[in-house]
Amino acid sequence: MTILNISLPESIQAFVAQQVDKGGYGTVNEYILDLLCQEKAKVERVESLLLEGLDSGEAFEVTDDWWEQKRSSFQQDETEYLLSTKANRYQLMTAIQNIDKKTNLVGFTPEEWNEEYNI
């Protein structure tokens, strides 16, 4: 294994130390190695998706109009799903009424939302 020395500002060193404690890492080396492995996996995933895209068929120009059509199509599909069953329609109408009346509203932080819905 190769040794790599890096210099960090004190604020970053403190942050790294906190992450080591919070993440259950035994050492700073383990934490940094885990970060690098995660980044490597992301790069490999992007490269894989790019190659898959290149092999997926004939290329075409993606314009602003194309994106707008995709957005409109997605919004229409989403609306159709929300209205697809009586239960969905009821929940949607109830949510709209609650927003209008400002009652029964629930607040989430982005972190809580991601944790709840595994995003």
pLDDT in tens, 20-46: 999 899 999 999 999 999 999 999 999
pLDDT at 29: 93
pLDDT on residue 77:
81
Q: Model pTM?
A: 0.49
Query: What confidence category does residue 88 fall into, taking pLDDT thresholds of 50, 70 and 90?
Result: confident
Q: Kindly tell me if the per-residue pLDDT of 119 is higher than 70.
A: no
Average pLDDT, the chain: 87
Could you give the 3-state DSSP secondary structure of residue 58? coil
